[in-house]
Chains A and B, each alone.
Chain A
Amino acid sequence: MTETLFIGLSLSSILLLIALGLSITYGAMGVINMAHGELVMIGAYTAVLSGIYLNLNFFLALPLAFAVSALVGMALERLVIRRLYGRIIDTLLATWGVAIVLQQLIRLEFGLSFFGIHVEGLGPGLQSMDVPSFLTQPFEIGGVPIQPYRSFIIVVTLLLTLLTWFLMYRTSMGTQVRAIMRNPQIAAACGIDVRRVSAFTFAYGSGLAGVAGVLLAGFKTVMPDMGASTVVDGFLVVVVGGVGSLLGTVLASGLLGQINGVFAILFNDILARAVVFGVVIAIILWRPRGLFSFRSR
């Protein structure tokens, strides 16, 4: 059971990285970015291709994937989303279109080649980049087998969550982001450059998605539509946690990731998905604005 919970925790971690980006971009900009999953995919491709063709160290691939996804996200914000602020349905459709374009561009370039980060016992082991050996040798703690790559995912997520918390709650930029999340017009009336801050926010959220893509590539084939399903899971976390709430996002990703992991291992993936959706519906009925929403007198 401990091993099952550990697997659930690693799945929750990736879900958290995806949802953090969605939460802050949706919260700050009111944008439902349907191309968020493609930013995950771009991060994964950046890592495996830089590993295969440039022999780039896996650990260097993480910041590189962050940077590439952040740049693509920044371009997406500048070229598409900035022109559609306040038009939520238009933004949804436009970013969905961008998602399809990005998928097809990758498909055109790489055809049916599948890539992955090969971790013994986890990934599909296709055209793969290598990871350091200490991330591939399972070990035991108290008789419980621990997969080091999953531990690595949890550590990276923990560090990035702490970094996000620091940026959001201990920096001037974070204060501006949170102010925009609550009331963009009042934020602008207080001298905050909403467009500039939103562009930064979008790039940061996209970068987190890129890192999630790298981590995900350890046990999921890297292919053009690998991110499409993750965006749905990410939005479930955002809705359950409460838009713009860091704590809510952390707890909701933990809850949904564990439910998914435990039910998938004890029963099967299909039942796990059904249970996750059932829990989400129940929580929305109970708290329509999510577990952690903002209230005032």
Chain B
Amino acid sequence: MLSLANVDSFYGRSQALHAMTISAPRGAVLGILGRNGVGKTTLLRTILGLTDRSEGVIALGGTPIEAFPTHERARAGIAYVPQGRMIIPDFTIRENILMGGFAATGARRIPDIVPELFPYLMDNLDRPGGVLSGGQQQQLAIARALACKPKVLLMDEPTEGIQPNIVAQIEDIIIRLNTELGLTILLVEQNVAFVRRAAKAFAMIEHGTAVESGPIDTLTDAMVHKHMAI
């Protein structure tokens, strides 16, 4: 569904990804693992065209998209739930969700799945997004991404900085998005247990390249210890 072949990516003159090659099959969750600073967020930003420059091939459903500007990649079906949520604090919850609709064809509307997944958001559509708690803002960021009508969802540490009782809810929602909607998800996570629960495959990143990858049941504790221990 989404594949990268020999992708290099740069911030100015600094190279952040080196010959990155990964593939997320249609309808699968691909867990992206690695220590802080190895290039996981850069990988997602490169897929969206948000780094300064990249080389190599990025394909969505077999179509090369590396020449597309960011908004066209979004319209092609890639949605982003960024690290730190990045909702618009002074937009209402409704406006925040509908922002995603600019990537979708047809009238902008709140997706049918949102009321079911996030009833609190639906009950507070006219409140500013900035007053929500961290967990609720994460829900809002996911709802915004769903309004893009995505084929592929890029999620950057969706459980980071969220209180523990909400983390389980977020995890369950991500698994439902994959199993019930059939969304292909690239999941950047430090929580290995969650990745093992949600993902069908994994890629371990180090120094901007995928050093290990394969089906999730081939992810060993030794790999985790080697590549993620501080």
- Taking beta carbons and an 8 Å cutoff, which residues of A are in contact with B? 172, 175-176, 178-179, 182-183, 185-195, 294-297
Q: Which residues of A contact B88 (CB under 8 A)?
A: 178-179, 182-183, 186
For residue A176, give the distance in angstroms from its CB to the closest CB of chain B. 7
Q: Which residues of B contact A185 (CB under 8 A)?
A: 50, 70
Interface centre among B69, B91, B99, B133 (most CB of A within 10 A): B99
The A-B contact count (CB < 8 A) is: 78
* Interface of A: prevailing SS: helix
Shortest 6 CB-CB contacts between residues of A and residues of B: A191-B103, A296-B89, A296-B130, A188-B70, A191-B102, A191-B74
Q: Could you list some 22 contacts between A and B, CB below 8 A?
A: A175-B95, A182-B91, A183-B88, A186-B80, A186-B99, A187-B99, A188-B70, A189-B50, A189-B79, A190-B99, A190-B103, A190-B148, A191-B71, A191-B74, A191-B101, A191-B104, A191-B148, A193-B69, A296-B130, A297-B130, A297-B131, A297-B137
Q: Which residues of A contact B137 (CB under 8 A)?
A: 297
Q: Which residues of B contact A178 (CB under 8 A)?
A: 88, 91
Separation of A194 and B99 alpha carbons in the complex (Å): 13
Across the interface, A191 reaches (CB within 8 A) one of B75, B86, B133, namely B75
**CB neighbors of A among B17-34 (8 A):** none
Separation of A195 and B71 alpha carbons in the complex (Å): 10
Contact: A188 with B134, CB < 8 Å?
Answer: no
Separation of A176 and B99 alpha carbons in the complex (Å): 8
Contact: A294 with B148, CB < 8 Å?
Answer: no
Nearest B residue to A185 by beta-carbon distance?
Answer: B50
Across the interface, A188 reaches (CB within 8 A) one of B74, B90, B132, namely B74
Separation of A189 and B99 alpha carbons in the complex (Å): 10
Separation of A172 and B98 alpha carbons in the complex (Å): 10
For residue A131, give the distance in angstroms from its CB to the closest CB of chain B. 41
For residue A246, give the distance in angstroms from its CB to the closest CB of chain B. 12
Contact: B134 with A186, CB < 8 Å?
Answer: no
For residue B163, give the distance in angstroms from its CB to the closest CB of chain A. 13
For residue B202, give the distance in angstroms from its CB to the closest CB of chain A. 24
Q: Which residues of A contact B87 (CB under 8 A)?
A: 296
For residue A12, give the distance in angstroms from its CB to the closest CB of chain B. 25
Q: Which residues of B contact A294 (CB under 8 A)?
A: 89-90, 130
Contact: B132 with A297, CB < 8 Å?
Answer: yes
Interface centre among A187, A194, A295, A297 (most CB of B within 10 A): A297
For residue B51, give the distance in angstroms from its CB to the closest CB of chain A. 10
Separation of A179 and B70 alpha carbons in the complex (Å): 15
Asked if B208 lies at the interface with its beta carbon under 8 angstroms from chain A, I say no
Contact: A190 with B74, CB < 8 Å?
Answer: yes
Q: Which residues of A contact B58 (CB under 8 A)?
A: none
Separation of A187 and B148 alpha carbons in the complex (Å): 12
Q: Which residues of A contact B43 (CB under 8 A)?
A: none
Asked if B158 lies at the interface with its beta carbon under 8 angstroms from chain A, I say no
Asked if B82 lies at the interface with its beta carbon under 8 angstroms from chain A, I say yes
Contact: A189 with B80, CB < 8 Å?
Answer: yes
Q: Which residues of A contact B144 (CB under 8 A)?
A: 190
5 new A-B contacts at CB < 8 Å, known A175-B98, A188-B48, A295-B89: A183-B88, A186-B86, A189-B74, A193-B71, A195-B69
Separation of A187 and B70 alpha carbons in the complex (Å): 9
Q: Which residues of A contact B104 (CB under 8 A)?
A: 191
Asked if B100 lies at the interface with its beta carbon under 8 angstroms from chain A, I say yes
Separation of A188 and B91 alpha carbons in the complex (Å): 16
